[in-house]
Chain A
Amino acid sequence: MRDKLLKILAQLHSRYPLRVLAAVFILTACFGYLATKLQQNMRWADLLPENHPSTVQFNKVVEEFTSATNIVVMVEGEEEKIKRFADEAVPLFKDLIDPSDGKKYIKRIDYRAETGFIKKHGLMLVKEEDMEDMKGLFMDPNLLPLVTNINDSLEKVYIAKEGSMSTREKEDNAFIFLDGIENLVRQIQRSVSGERLSEDDVRKTADKILFGEDYMLSYGKDALIILAVPNFTMMDMDKVTYSVDSMQEVIDGMLPRYEGVKAGLTGMVAVQHDENVSIEKSLGYTTVIALAAVLAMLIIAFRMWMAPLYGLLTLIVGVIWAVGLVTVTLGSLNMMSAMMAVILIGLGIDFSIHIISVFTENRSLGKGIEESLSVTFRNTGKGIITGALTTAAAFFAVTIARTRGMKEMGIVLGGGVIMVLLATFLLLPALLVLREKKRDRISAAKGEKRKTADISFRSLGVAGHWLSRHYIKSLAGVIVISAVLVYAASKITFDHNYLNLEPKGLKSVELEDTIIDKFDLSIDYGMVLADSPEESRKTASLLKEKPLIASVEDISLYLPSKEEQERRLPHIRQIRKALAASRLQPAVDRENAVRFIDELDRLRMNVMEMQDMAYLGGQDKVDAKCTKITGDPENPQSPDIIGGLMEYMEKNAETSRERLSSFQDVFSPYFRESAMSMSSEDILTLEDLPDSILDRYANRDRNLFLVTAYPAMNIWKDKTVMERFSETLESISGKATGMSIIMKYLIDIMGEDGRKALALTILLVFIILLADFGKPLYAVIAMIPLLLGALWMVGLMKLAGMQFTVMNVLGLPLIIGIGIDDGVHIVHRWMAEGRGAVRQVYASTGKAILLTSLTTMLAFGSLVFSIYRGFASLGGAMFLGVAACFLTSVSVLAPIIGLIDAKRVKKGETAGE
């Protein structure tokens, strides 16, 4: 049946090549159109099973919480410049419109604190124990009592509170408090030294004491963050692309006017955008590298131009068909299946190599076109089909995987191999026939005889012959090498850090690192969903007790429980009462001016002591902030702003007193008014929170709440830490997700998938080989180099300094499907040639498997140049794997053949029997 079909096909090509080409052209146009509709989903969560709880929760967060997918604008430079930059850029970002539907890309932008809400309810958000220490600050708005109260508070915290700066949160609080003090001292200094301060400047000074910095500035005040909340989710890839491009245009347009300012985009949306662009670009150029390398190698090997070009054209057509088929079957590619083109180039060219090789060989023997093609189909067509089906079966075996990543890759590559196989049988022969007809015509016209050339690899034949004759030595050598490589393989480790697979050099990813550095923010966090503010509060509270969790953010930061609020009320009332009773002093009298200097001295000492303790405790942020206020202890020339103010006031007592009075005249009423305002006695409910806060912690319908937990350490340090962090989250709630959980499951499930797929692939390959060879012995012999090659592959990976990753672990089932071809072809040829023909087997078929191995290695090797390191890790592993399979096909198979031949000589049998 198969022979008959191949014969008909050969006739069709020989007689009607143009019609066949026309049919292929139409098919290519159809598949090509479909290929343009293919989507790409490059998220790790897309690799897990669709119904996996972690995937479900992750997608829920992405879909429900627009704030989970912010676009972050990072601006660096001098404080005043970056604030102006942000003020100008924000309205421009807000006005960006999607031309496709006329809607704005950006729903809301956060870059300054939500002062409206804090100004009204600020005190209700202060914990009761902190209120005890801090309430003195709010009692009297006049400058002398204010500074006295600040001193009391600083000393009180030191004395009474354990671990006042023992956590990140508390260190941050200390930093913010010191920042307010620094600003107050600086503004008083400006004022008393005669600089005219606007009323707005003085009010801002009071605001900073009460509410802190309102821009989202870094600790060093040299970087600022703008958070743009999009009107779309990450699922909408077109909007992701266009919104990021539009915002980048705005930034690029502004930057020339802000000298010394740098700005860029990051955050989940921008990183996704950059990754998509880089992966597409990366796959584009690696595909070109693969095609060029394969073509160059074929031209050198076949010593001709046109036939390799036809092979390449066939391959491109086959890949287009394969991509079109994916559009119909799956509709999209994931992070793993995106490599399909490069893999298919490496595998698919093998079919063309075999056909070109045998066809040109027969033509050079003087056979006619139709006869040559028939012989080619008969002699090598069967092997190609068996090889392709084995490879496709291996890929389809991977579809038993639970992970979507592997399952889809199996479908894509299995279908892809078959499409390339079809393209090879439908297009290449027609092209070769047309070429040969033309060459015949030219030769006939010139009356020349066609040149022939021996293009077999004699040296490979000699090597195979030597190995088979000295099979004992050869096998002993193989055993030694195998022992070394198996030992190395046993030592290979697994790199579970997905960040090591992400693209390197992407601006958005680099900016993430800058944010970590300047804002001390971790990008790796866990997310837990809650159905109510109460559940969110409870979850956050439980998480905070866990040692692996550094900090937790949720709606309870802005919505304390009713009980908590009621406990805070008496303190708030006390503050209100004291404020109402406080008398605004119109001027600072002489006695108070002297006392004010004394309090400044006390403040200076408190800050110095805080600085000394921060130095001993290694709290660098606090130490640096204190240094800005009281100077560097190791550099007497460094400015001490409190000391400077005291000195000026002592030298210019009268003018300083008058100017201090003017400052107080604006400052104190505003401070009292603001403090009164923020001490609202209203019990807060969900409805009181503004959208800017709600959007951060609640979904659109306000019935789901997001709790974000930041780890206390680098969770990618080792697998145990990552697992413990994930387990901590999951022990608190069944609705936890995040990259650590996704990777934990992905590694587990992929490991299980890999083992199952590997076993099934080996079984399927054996069954196909058994059907092909008809005898179990030959099937086993053909498989030995493959299985040994797979072990060598892992050993070589270890020796090359590689680790297994969630991407390259896929190489194991893949190598079974890909590496089997070498053994199959050698055993087929050995069976056909008979005993004693090892030299010929390796000179001819050895050449073919060397070429097919090299082309496959070149294709996978091209992935090493990919900016996406996940692809590079698989490319590197497969490069070594294919090389290992070729080496074992020569070094193991030749001695085994030699051994069997030798035994049969003794028994008087012939090979192949």
Chain B
Amino acid sequence: MGGIRKNIIAAVLVAGGFISAWPADTGERPMAAQDIVEKMNSVINVDSSEGRMSMTIITSSGEERTFIYDSYSKNRGEKNLIRYIEPSRARGQAILMLNNADDIWAYFPRTGRVRKLATHAKRQKMEGSDFSYEDMGSGDAFLDDYTSRLLGEEEKEGYMCHKLELERKQGSDAGYSRLVIWVIKENYFPVAIQYYDLDDSRLLLKELIQYDIRMIENIPTGMKIVMYNRTDDTKTVMEILKVDYDAELGDELFTERGLLK
């Protein structure tokens, strides 16, 4: 069950996560950390999107398994739907997430049933994939849950970046003690994010790297996203096969009926 949720979360976030071109940094004056996070937040949160993607996970017996699915997202990631296409065993299965993945439903074509699976799944850490909903900073999580500090400039994955440290605010429900984010100076796209343990701020849990960054519909998009789990040596690889940031998505898609279509 858990794996599904994570697959969905990751898929939706990637498909719907990166939108709106922000004017490039002129480099005239040093920016405040908070400004950079705000700009980044605008870049990664998209109004609506539609895409097809693949995700490769490592199963509990160590095998690789690749899924291909269609993904739909609306209201800056608040509503999400994914529908599996491959492999044939998963074909037709669909997952609907509402309220920023707090409420999750699933459709099983083999039994023809729609079932509500879980609530409060935002911080869910699941097997199957190494993503969780909050990892990608959907909504305004990076702004609301963390205070930011500019560590300097650094080249990362071939891009000149702002290096930021985001520290968890007291009383926030963030699942990490701190994040280190490399934001590309040119377009405010986060090329890499490190996630540190809630109790032990020195312990690196996961690291996300975005590869093959392209401008699609004037929006920077990481065509290949890899989440490296540094505690159990696994990784999850997601690739965007196609994406449309200009999709017109009706609300009816994100309903039980939408699941069955």
Contacts and interface: CB of A to CB of B under 8 A. Distances in A.
B127 interface: yes
B248 interface: no
Contact of A618 (B121, B125, B127): B127
A608 B89 CA distance: 12
A628 to B, nearest CB: 16
Interface in A701-735: 712-714, 717, 721, 724
A458 interface: no
B67 A616 contact: yes
Contacts of A163: 2, 124-126
B108 A612 contact: yes
Q: Which of B67, B125, B205 has the most CB of A within 10 A?
A: B125
A613 B8 CA distance: 12
Nearest to B232: A713
B59 A619 contact: yes
Contact of B88 (A164, A608, A617, A634): A634
A171 interface: yes
A602 to B, nearest CB: 10
Contacts of A712: 231-232
Interface in B33-67: 57-61, 63, 65, 67
A547 B231 contact: yes
A166 B2 contact: yes
A369 interface: no
A759 to B, nearest CB: 33
A605 B197 CA distance: 39
Contacts of B125: 163, 166
Interface string B1-43: 1111011000000000000000000000000000000000000
B110 A633 contact: yes
B108 A608 contact: yes
Nearest to B84: A616
B110 A608 contact: yes
B257 interface: no
A691 interface: no
Interface stretch (A14-22, A85-93, A154-162, A271-279): A154-162
A104 interface: no
Interface in A521-561: 545-548
Interface residues on A, range: 35 or more
B111 to A, nearest CB: 4
Given A171-B60, A613-B4, A617-B1, A548 B231 contact: yes
A609 B115 contact: yes
A305 interface: no
Nearest to A712: B232
B115 A158 contact: yes
Nearest to A622: B60
A615 interface: yes
A165 interface: yes
A620 B61 contact: yes
A713 B233 contact: yes
Contact of B127 (A155, A159, A165, A608): A165
Contact of B2 (A612, A617, A633, A713): A617
Given A155-B115, A633-B110, A547 B65 contact: no
A155 B114 CA distance: 12
B233 A717 contact: yes
Interface in A597-612: 605, 608-610, 612
Contacts of A634: 88-89
Interface string B128-158: 1100000000000000000000000000000
Contacts of B231: 547-548, 712-713, 721
A696 interface: no
Given A162-B118, A162-B121, A717-B233, A616 B3 contact: yes
B229 to A, nearest CB: 8
A621 interface: yes
Contacts of A546: 199-200
A612 B89 CA distance: 8
B1 A164 contact: yes
A712 B115 CA distance: 32
Contacts of B200: 546-547
Interface in B213-261: 231-233
A606 to B, nearest CB: 9
A547 B203 contact: yes
Contacts of A161: 118
B93 interface: yes
Nearest to A601: B111
A171 B1 CA distance: 11
Nearest to A155: B115
Interface in A752-810: none
Nearest to A604: B111
Contacts of B110: 608-609, 612, 633
B117 interface: yes
Q: Which of B65, B127, B203 has the most CB of A within 10 A?
A: B127
B238 to A, nearest CB: 14
B85 interface: no
Which A-B residue pairs are the 4 nearest by beta carbons?
Answer: A617-B3, A618-B59, A617-B128, A713-B232
19 contacts: A162-B118, A163-B2, A163-B126, A164-B2, A165-B1, A166-B2, A546-B200, A547-B205, A548-B203, A605-B108, A608-B108, A612-B90, A616-B3, A616-B67, A617-B2, A618-B3, A618-B65, A618-B128, A620-B59
Given A613-B1, A621-B61, A717-B233, 5 more contacts: A158-B117, A162-B119, A546-B199, A617-B128, A633-B110
